[in-house]
Amino acid sequence: MEKLVLNAYAKINPFLEITSKRLDGYHEIDSVMMSVSIHDTVTLTRTDGGITITADTPSVPTDSRNIAYKVAARLLDAVNETRGVHIDIKKRIPTEAGMGGGSADGAAVLVGLNKMLGEPLCVDELCALGASVGADIPFCVRGGCIRVGGIGEKVAETLPVPKLHILVAKMGEGISTPAAYSALDSLYGDFVAYSPKAPTELLCAIRNEGNLDGLYNIFEQALDALAPSTKMLKNRLARLSRGALLCGSGTAVFAVFDNERDALAAKTALQKDSAISFVEVCTTMPFGVEIIN
């Protein structure tokens, strides 16, 4: 197979708690991650050698800094493949949003390139390879709804995927992930003697009612200092919906609606606000990567 087109789905975290800070500076987390239908489109074309990238968004690097480049290099190396790949990325997942856009592209490259090479690696091997590049990549490879542990790369429990109507919106302001962690380190004393919350209410709601009661994201504590207008957006969305929450370390916010009509009405209201840089209605997805053709 010489060419493959894949959808790379974004993620939200209906629950995100930091459980500890490791000696190497990484934070261990307890999080429920969920794939949503907002996606990039990744087209892979086999070449005679090397890795090249094109993207339709100027802020996305097209060299070895791109997550898609890094995973392709590791996969080709792992299976001793001498031919190369061209990766074209149509970016629809907002960047620096906490929706795992780069990780989703990386997962699509792993799944797609592995398929083109005759599937030399199994899913667990692809996830291990992805984890060596970024902690969210294994989730994006598996997709659906998963409670994760470690630094986000470990599966603690695979959950059913509730069918939900979700609105995602983002203000123009962004937060760098290191700045967000650093703000929380100051606030919680490097998480020494910290008592983490557990996702008990959310897990019960997902398993029994198929909804998302019990939303929680510790990164919301950093919004006052780092992104005050995102906090206002979250409060506005919370009033319009069943519940709203920051995506990952920010700054997109998602809101859960009972039906598509209410979600679309909220989208129309938000589109009138010029300070909002992204607004989209989506649904939950049972997978993180989908082969289109």
CB of 24 to ligand ATP, least distance (A): 19
Q: Rank residues 107 and 116 by Cβ distance to ligand ATP and give the closer one.
A: 107
Residues forming a β-bridge with 4? 44
Task: Convert residues 100-129 into a mask of x (bound to ligand ATP by CB under 6 A) and - (unbound).
Answer: xxxx-x------------------------
Ranges within 142-181 binding ligand ATP (CB under 6 A): 177
Kindly indicate which of the ranges 89-97, 118-126, 195-203, 206-214 contains the residues binding ligand ATP, using the contact rule CB under 6 A. 89-97
3-state class (DSSP) for residue 67: helix
67 is a contact residue toward ligand ATP (CB under 6 A):
yes
CB nearer to ligand ATP: pick between 8 and 205: 8
Chain position whose Cβ is nearest to ligand ATP:
102
Only one of the segments 54-62, 113-121, 138-146, 161-169 lies at the binding site for ligand ATP (rule: CB under 6 A); that segment is 54-62
Tokens 């090397």 correspond to what residue?
50
Sign of the four-CA dihedral 249, 15, 170, 93 = positive
User: What is the spatial distance between Cα 241 and Cα 156, in angstroms, rounded to a whole number?
Assistant: 29
**Is 97 a residue that touches ligand ATP (CB under 6 A)?**
yes
- CA separation for the pair 200, 216 (Å, rounded): 11
| 184 is an interface residue for ligand ATP by CB under 6 A | no
* Residue with Cβ nearer ligand ATP (99 or 169): 99
Q: Is the peptide bond before 251 cis (omega within 30 degrees of 0)?
A: yes
> Is the Cβ–Cβ distance between 199 and 147 less than 8 Å?
yes
CB-CB contact of 73 with 81 (8 Å): no
249 binds ligand ATP (CB under 6 A): yes
Distance, CA of 116 to CA of 76 (rounded, Å): 11
Question: Which sign, positive or negative, has the C-alpha torsion 176, 180, 183, 185?
Answer: negative
d(CA 230, CA 115): 40
Nearer of residues 59 and 274 to ligand ATP, judged by Cβ: 59
Single out the residue of 96, 153, 280, 290 in contact with ligand ATP (rule: CB under 6 A): 96
- Interface residues with ligand ATP (CB under 6 A) are 59-61, 65-68, 89, 95-103, 105, 136, 177, 248-249
